[in-house]
Amino acid sequence: MSATTTHDEHHDDHGPAKGIMRWITTTNHKDIGTLYLVFALAMLFVGGAMSLVIRAELFQPGLQFVNPDFFNQMTTMHALIMVFGMIMPAFVGFANWMVPMMIGAPDMALPRLNNWSFWILPFAGTLLLSTLFMDGGGPASGWTLYPPLVLQTGNALPFAIFSVHLLGVSSIMGSINIIVTIMNMRAPGMTLLKMPLFVWTWLITAYLLIAVMPVLAGGVTMLLTDGFFGTSFFQAAGGGDPVLFQHIFWFFGHPEVYIIILPAFGIISQVIPTFSRKPLFGHDSMVYATASIAFLSFIVWAHHMFTVGMPLAGQLFFMLSTMLIAIPTGVKVFNWTATMWRGSLSFETPMLFALAFLFLFTIGGFSGLMVAIAPADFQYHDSYFVVAHFHYVLVPGALFGAIAGAYYWLPKWTGHMYNETLGKVHFWLSAIFVNLTFFPQHFVGLAGMPRRIPDYATQFADFNAISSVGAFGFGFSQLLLVYVVIQCVRGGEKASAQVWDGAEGLEWTVPSPAPYHTFEEPPLVR
Amino acid sequence: MRDSHRLLAGKLVLFAAGMFGFGFLLVPLYDVFCQVTGIGSRTGLPTAATVTAENPVTDRIVTVEFVANRNQQAPWEFRPAVSSLEVMPGKLYDTTYFARNLTDRQLVGQAVPSVAPGQANKYFKKTECFCFESQEFAPAEGRDMGLTFMVDPGLPEHIDRVTLSYTFFVNQQVAAN
């Protein structure tokens, strides 16, 4: 793909406003992208602190630091914050910053909506966190909010539900914006199949979000009316069935896991070709694989609930459809590997994170295949094996994808190179500690340690101690990321427009740092 | 805002609204699914099965276990009279559950049954059951509540143990409906 830019210096008359009002009233996609990313980084540490409470308690068997009820609030809030407050906003931030620049658009299609969808987030997050200070504490039923347990939550229940509503509204608005931008504002010549993979994965993710966030909103609304208005959607006493909630939740919940991972796939698909100095192998097959994953995600939800008592035909259907997902995912992994084949590789920090993603996400994918086996799932279900599985796809998967993207585009955002040495130190600390944290959890899970439990049998003590050491190491290593980012914003070696010599795409044709307004005249893509 | 943006954004809002509706549509869909497969229990409160004749299968014994649960510290004493019975499929049996109101107020209770394994559900026929209607208790009253059931001879061969579990709720919701 080649492009011509027409970027001249006529934008100085409407640069950013000064002071705090710049950030509150901004409709600029780059400002809003930055806000999303900063919010996500802050939430990473809030959710991370909660996970450290969990790991501190689990360092030894017995109860040391917190009471079991607070422990359960921590597992629940850690998940809700990390999923809705950290990783999803982080990827929306990447989309805001990069999608318009990658398709040659001057801004997002609906800039005021964009401002609104971000500024809902801090309020929703505060509402959610405030539940920890209420009578009876925050929700403690796990992020899946299963009734009847969740209906025993104290005053926090309606607040938690309203915050889920708000977070959902925010991501639906963000998704509508992204879809309209991609469909309507591509530069001339940027046909759909010429779009970079990151844009493609976000287009598909946005459709997934619009399809399933409203279903979750409906489900939690039913919880609300069951709890306060005497309906019996899930109350067995009134003829309802709690299992129905599990179906509704996972009809949302399984596409949700792809909502989290697909943008990371997109980032990796940008990073690996850059540092392999080769175009992405099988670009179109990557698009079709992403679309197949998205389609399949709608018909596999009940593999989360094999143990509720399902007809044999149902178990077989959900087992086999789940395993089908391994095919398009395998296509992706092979394409990334083939991109590197005979490439001229170099190992800057974004590439290191991308390689760790490729290897460790695949481990998480394989353990996913294991839990997909319905008869074996009875052993894995609700055990630490499941915790290990989904943390492998979420932390060295989605989070490493986001970190790779941050290092990759930081020079474009700030105009400075980050400190490569510190970046590599951050990578090695993260890569070692993440495995130290989550790998032993496979073993305790297979041996029968249940999840969401503050105490455990002494036979699990050693692996849990290792896991806790890893978690604290991983958590504190991320402070290095903050340091590198701040250092890079403040100064450093000047970055060129191209930044990486193997980088291709429209975002690298504008100067670094990217001017406040880019592509006011659309570039021509050939 | 360009018209093309407005049009596409409008369609996407409609799509989101439609999916919100679809979430609620899953409720009746689930009911249909439960009726077809005979599992799940959103099909309303249980009603009496009709058994026209007893045809005991004398060469087969099925163990029926009785379990009693209370929900959310409901103020009952609640237990089965016997913890299990060995029964012949096709024959009617009587047993009882005992419940006592532990408060000094009048209480109305509703028992909700559940059969495990789920496949056995449609072969477990209750001709009379205290779960068919709500049970009123005077302050501190305790009494036995009757249950007459038959295990249908069609019960799949590999099932030799069926667990009948009742959860005894304080009936506020049911009265409201």
ipTM value of the model?
Answer: 0.88
Residue B110 lies in a domain: yes
Specify the pLDDT at position B172: 62
CA distances from A310 to A271, A305, B24 (A): 43, 9, 22
Residue A467 bears catalytic tag: no
B129 and B95 within one domain: yes
Q: Considering its fold, how many domains does chain B have in total?
A: 2
For residue B163, is pLDDT > 60?
Answer: yes
For residue B50, is pLDDT > 90?
Answer: no
Kindly report the nearest CA distance between residue A182 and chain B, in angstroms: 11
Query: How many Å apart are CA B147 and CA B82, to the nearest integer?
Result: 12
CA A200-A292-A203 angle, 5° bins: 20
When pLDDT is averaged across residues B59-83 and rounded to a whole number, the result is: 87
Residue A183 lies in a domain: yes
Name chain B contacts of A161, Cβ cutoff 8 Å. none
Specify the pLDDT at position A28: 94
A369 Cβ contact list (under 8 Å, min separation 6): A323, A326
Name chain B contacts of A311, Cβ cutoff 8 Å. 37, 39, 118-119
Specify the pLDDT at position B132: 82
Residue A431 lies in a domain: no
Structural domain containing residue A38: 22-196
Residue A171 bears catalytic tag: yes
Residue B1 lies in a domain: yes
Q: State the DSSP H helix or E strand holding residue A450, giving kind and residue range, or none if neither.
A: none
Q: Do B12 and A176 touch (CB under 8 A)?
A: yes
When pLDDT is averaged across residues B18-29 and rounded to a whole number, the result is: 93
Residue A304 bears catalytic tag: yes
Query: How many Å apart are CA B25 and CA A423, to the nearest integer?
Result: 50
CATH of the domain at A189: 1.20.210.10
B27 and B71 within one domain: no
Residue A293 lies in a domain: no
Q: Do A239 and B45 touch (CB under 8 A)?
A: yes
Residue B153 lies in a domain: yes
For residue B176, is pLDDT > 50?
Answer: no
Q: What is the pTM of this model?
A: 0.89
Residue A451 bears catalytic tag: yes
Query: How many Å apart are CA B135 and CA B109, to the nearest integer?
Result: 5
Residue B55 lies in a domain: no
B22 and B94 within one domain: no
Q: Do A179 and B169 touch (CB under 8 A)?
A: no
Residue A517 bears catalytic tag: no
Residue A134 lies in a domain: yes
Q: Considering its fold, how many domains does chain A have in total?
A: 1
Residue B52 lies in a domain: no
B156 and B88 within one domain: yes
Q: Shortest CA distance to A349 belongs to which of A266, A438, A419? A: A419
Per-residue pLDDT of chain A in tens (526 residues, 90 and over written 9): 444 444 444 444 456 778 888 899 999 999 999 999 999 999 999 999 999 999 999 999 999 999 999 999 999 999 999 999 999 999 999 999 999 999 999 999 999 999 999 999 999 999 999 999 998 899 999 999 999 889 888 889 999 999 999 999 999 999 999 999 999 999 999 999 999 999 999 999 999 999 999 999 999 999 999 989 988 899 877 778 889 999 999 999 999 999 999 999 999 999 999 999 999 999 999 999 999 999 999 999 999 999 987 888 889 999 999 999 999 999 999 999 999 999 999 999 999 999 999 999 999 999 999 999 999 999 999 999 999 999 999 999 999 999 999 999 999 999 999 999 999 999 999 999 999 999 999 999 999 999 999 999 999 999 999 999 999 999 999 999 999 999 999 988 999 999 999 999 999 999 999 999 999 889 988 7
Residue A234 lies in a domain: no
Residue A35 lies in a domain: yes
Specify the pLDDT at position A38: 97
Specify the pLDDT at position A8: 46
Name chain A contacts of B47, Cβ cutoff 8 Å. none
Mutate to test the interface with B, among A176, A223, A306 (most CBs of B within 10 A): A176
CATH of the domain at B118: 2.60.370.10
Contact A277, A340 (CB under 8 A): no
Interface membership of A301 toward B (CB under 8 Å)? no
Confidence of residue B20 (pLDDT cuts 50, 70, 90): very high
Query: How many Å apart are CA A279 and CA A272, to the nearest integer?
Result: 9
B108 and B40 within one domain: no
Name chain B contacts of A247, Cβ cutoff 8 Å. 26, 30
Specify the pLDDT at position A14: 59
Residue of B nearest to A214 (CA): B20
B91 and B162 within one domain: yes
Q: Shortest CA distance to A434 belongs to which of A465, A401, A388, A402? A: A388
pLDDT in tens, B86-136: 999 988 999 999 999 888 888 888 888 888 887 788 788 888 888 888 888
Query: How many Å apart are CA A361 and CA A368, to the nearest integer?
Result: 10
Residue A14 bears catalytic tag: no
Specify the pLDDT at position A7: 47
Structural domain containing residue B8: 1-44
Residue B51 lies in a domain: no
Confidence of residue B42 (pLDDT cuts 50, 70, 90): low
- Phi and psi at residue B97, to the nearest 5°: -115, 145
Kindly report the nearest CA distance between residue A68 and chain B, in angstroms: 18
> Which of A7, A29, A30, A78 is the catalytic position?
A78
B40 and B70 within one domain: no
Name chain A contacts of B18, Cβ cutoff 8 Å. 214
Confidence of residue B46 (pLDDT cuts 50, 70, 90): low
For residue B43, is pLDDT > 70?
Answer: no
Kindly report the nearest CA distance between residue A14 and chain B, in angstroms: 19
Residue A291 lies in a domain: no
Candidates A214, A222, A237; nearest CB to B173:
A237
Specify the pLDDT at position B113: 85
Residue A78 bears catalytic tag: yes
Specify the pLDDT at position A6: 46
B23 and B68 within one domain: no
Residue B57 lies in a domain: no
When pLDDT is averaged across residues B24-53 and rounded to a whole number, the result is: 74
Contact B73, B95 (CB under 8 A): no
Residue B56 lies in a domain: no
B140 and B111 within one domain: yes
